Amino acid sequence: MRRDALLWIALCSTGCAGPERGWIAELRGRTETRREREEAPESASPSAQADIAGGRVEVPLFPLLYVERSPEASATEVLWPLYESGSSSTAPGVASSFFRLRPLIYVDSFERSSRVVIFPVYFHLREQHESGDLAVDHFWPLYGFHREWIDLAPATTHHFAWPLIYFRFGPARWKVSIFPLVAASEGYLDRGWWIAPVIRWGSQGQSAFFYLLDPLIAYERDSIAESVEDFAASPQKTRTSFNLLGGLLGWENDRGYSSLRLLWWLKI
């Protein structure tokens, strides 16, 4: 692996087209546009032979200079990763483009994502994901508006003086955070109240937790009981634990059977 890396560096010092795969390639805008052309319907994108026949021009001196010109794509990289720009077309009227002057300016427009970044004061991001779309408009550090999927549900977050204060809202759920002093959440996986660094508590259904100067004192109850009556009648559906100093001394009731724990692992 080291020999291959040294060989790649030696070749690039004399000029090459740059990596086509790997993490470096994923940072290049031409990789994104090439992927879009490859994923486009065959009828919408000319074949590689038509591309060559149409007059493809390449200046492979990466990372000092790389220039690509063809009927369906163009790319220019100078002292990469400092500067790169280019465009691509997968069908009539369907085009992608990118312009990056790192680390200050990013202007990208792709089929499933777009962004305008003026670092570090302005961020405008749009991304499409199978797990849920992402939308960010951030005027750092004064105000930020984020729309994304959190805990398998859409969420809207308002940031003020990032990262000090934010308010998050979703279907039947909410969260408030004033970092690092107070946080409160209902419906999210990190539900409960938290007053740093003293106390944290919360509950959902028949499950509950309580931490005081964690790990000094910790109480946890995990239950799959569906109601108070079910909880009282079905102890086998619940596991309860109480620990001191992170488990140095603890007590637990697991599905109706109680035990005392010493030194984290010794059960009595």
Query: What percentage of residues in the chain have a pLDDT greater than 70?
Result: 88
Alpha helices in the chain (DSSP H): 2-14, 23-26, 29-39, 48-53, 228-233
Tokens of 218: 């910790």
Closest among 92, 97, 55, 54 to 76, alpha carbons compared: 97
Compute the average pLDDT of residues 249-266. Answer: 86
Mean pLDDT along residues 93-109? 93
Lowest pLDDT segment from 25-39, 102-116, 146-160 = 25-39
Contact indicator for 136, 125 with CB cutoff of 8 Å: yes
Q: Is the pLDDT of residue 143 over 50?
A: yes
Q: What's at 228, amino acid-wise?
A: V
DSSP at 237: G
DSSP letter at 49? Answer: H
pLDDT tens, position by position, 165-184? 999 999 999 999 999 899 99
Higher-confidence position of 16 and 193: 193
End-to-end CA distance of the chain: 53
Mean pLDDT for 66-71 is 92
What is the pLDDT averaged over residues 145-154?
94
Task: Kindly report the backbone phi and psi dihedral angles of residue 224, in degrees, each rounded to the nearest multiple of 5, phi listed first.
Answer: -105, 10
What integer pLDDT is reported at residue 3 of this predicted model? 53
Cis? peptide before 197, omega within 30° of 0:
yes
| pLDDT greater than 70 at residue 48 | no
Which tokens belong to 48?
């590689």
CA distance 250 to 126: 48
pTM of the model: 0.74
Confidence of residue 154 (pLDDT cuts 50, 70, 90): very high
**Which token pair is 262?**
């010493």
Q: Over range 198-209, report the average pLDDT.
A: 90
Contact 77, 66 (CB under 8 A): yes
Residue whose C-alpha is closest to residue 207's, from 181, 241, 159: 241
Which of 58-62, 222-226, 229-233 has the least mean pLDDT?
A: 229-233
pLDDT more than 90, % of the chain: 58
Whether residue 80 has pLDDT greater than 50: yes
The whole-number pLDDT of residue 229 equals 84
pLDDT at 46: 46
Contact present, 68 and 85 (Cβ < 8 Å): no
